[in-house]
Structure 1
């Protein structure tokens, strides 16, 4: 008898979007205190990835000078650590929520109020978490202890702020398009190893491509300001925070949420031929009737109905 490959293959696109919908519904049901705490830790975890990146590449001035492409690739490879922590620990990250909440709201499974509540609270407390980590666990802990590291912290911050406003808008779009795809791939995997690979590759790509993530910038900008950048708080908000956030919203809500809703969200969750091939779903009935028997093997992604409304990050 042939082995049941369904149990080890990834979920098909329709199955994955059924899980995305259930995640968004769970997000909408989160109590206020859970939403606040999950959002705070989401910001902290993203800042952890930013500091990991900064310490290594900042401490390699020779490599940056002799082989900048290799330095960029190594730097970008380290940053996804924060995203893996967010998703596998079930925290809230506003940039992934731009995708998930849009998709479910377009399906009318969540409301505009649910979407706005989630976006506003997660954005505010993601910022709070990132700033807390920046001040307490990066600046006060003297993590960037060498001159090369502190100098690079200034250089990378100025490169994010002292640029054209429109550039940061489009860089924000590109970033969250890939963040949404990382969320999709992380959801489609059935085990933690698959999820980590699925999350890691798109995030690695967006960092290497020079795209901008609004919450990460609340670490990268302030840490550079602590060491003496040539821009003010006002310019940081106007030239970086606003355009990158708007770009992230467009990238997540339009290029991922709306696009995937048009493909997979307007009718019953029926895997088509391509979806079945991609997902390894070879059941004879060709529909989602057997889906509930299998989705509980998702590891740590919050798809089960829980009394506290735990959700996918």
Structure 2
């Protein structure tokens, strides 16, 4: 028998990725604490990009109406993956990816729990502001056609009135698991094309399967404020936001962030 000289630390297969995440959490903390205006702008840009590509996806669905539904949904999902690729590669701030980053940072004591929570909530608020800015601009243009508005209305109804809280929770877990597992893998690559590919993979799965992304959903509801406010059941919207938020945290923060933090070192190993 060959002697086994491996130690526990040799099993930390993606330790470099975890160190990269912790470094980014430290930068987020500095940005948030010392230049909050810049942090807000990065969060606004994420919401803006997400809402912008949402409109692109609605246009695809409207213009391909009558074609094979599965194929249209797949094309829309591929198109929407552009949003997260742009957000990640421009280092913008998105709540759902921050669930993973902040959880890893909390596990390694890089950030306190109260600071992590503050960053998450502020990030979410300004993500929504980004959606408002996008739809204010859209409202003064003829871009949103009646067909696109009807597609938006149907999508909102399916996520609110026609969804139970436990269905939303489960779909939200799956959504952010796929998104953050893609981001986690992408961190291991240096070139932009490889990063973009793995980021897009997770997004394509979540969009095609109709999973729940709390920031994407919030952007849809912002759109309805401008195009059909009276058609929205706002209590059901609140139900969706609450359980999508919780589910996204579980999927990205616990199932990816906390899991891989634990698999790649002890909690006090950075001290």
Calculate the TM-score normalised by the size of structure 2. Answer: 0.87
Offset at 1:266?
2.0
Instruction: Give the 3 Å change call, closer, same or farther, for CA 204–260 of structure 1 in structure 2.
Output: same
Structure-2 residue corresponding to 1:76: 77
Aligned 8 A contact 1:46 1:83 in 2: yes
**Within the alignment, does 1:169 sit opposite 2:169 as a pair?**
yes
**Within the alignment, does 1:32 sit opposite 2:31 as a pair?**
no
3-state secondary structure, aligned to 2:93: coil
Deviations 1:6-36 (A, max 9, x none): xxxxxx6222221111111111111211211
**Within the alignment, does 1:125 sit opposite 2:148 as a pair?**
no
Aligned 8 A contact 1:101 1:115 in 2: yes
Q: Indicate the RMSD between aligned Cα atoms, in angstroms.
A: 1.8
Structure-2 residue corresponding to 1:41: 45
Offset at 1:268?
9.5
Aligned 8 A contact 1:130 1:215 in 2: no
Aligned-partner Cα distance in 2 for 1:261–1:22: 14
Offset at 1:140?
2.9
Aligned-partner Cα distance in 2 for 1:158–1:41: 27
Deviations 1:177-222 (A, max 9, x none): 1121122123122011111111111111111111011111122233
Structure-1 residue corresponding to 2:137: 137
Aligned-partner Cα distance in 2 for 1:143–1:233: 25
Offset at 1:37?
1.2
Structure-1 residue corresponding to 2:150: 151
Aligned 8 A contact 2:96 2:248 in 1: yes
**Aligned pairs for 1:1-313 within 5 A:** 13-30=14-31, 31-63=35-67, 67-134=68-135, 136-145=136-145, 147-162=146-161, 163-224=163-224, 226-228=226-228, 230-238=231-239, 240-266=240-266
Aligned-partner Cα distance in 1 for 2:75–2:175: 18
Aligned-partner Cα distance in 1 for 2:140–2:61: 20
Offset at 1:267?
7.0
Greater helix percent: which structure?
2
Aligned 8 A contact 2:109 2:268 in 1: no
Work out the number of aligned pairs and report it: 252
Aligned-partner Cα distance in 1 for 2:63–2:51: 18
Offset at 1:160?
1.1
Unmatched tracts of structure 1, length 5 or more: 1-11, 270-313
Instruction: Give the 3 Å change call, closer, same or farther, for CA 225–268 of structure 1 in structure 2.
Output: closer
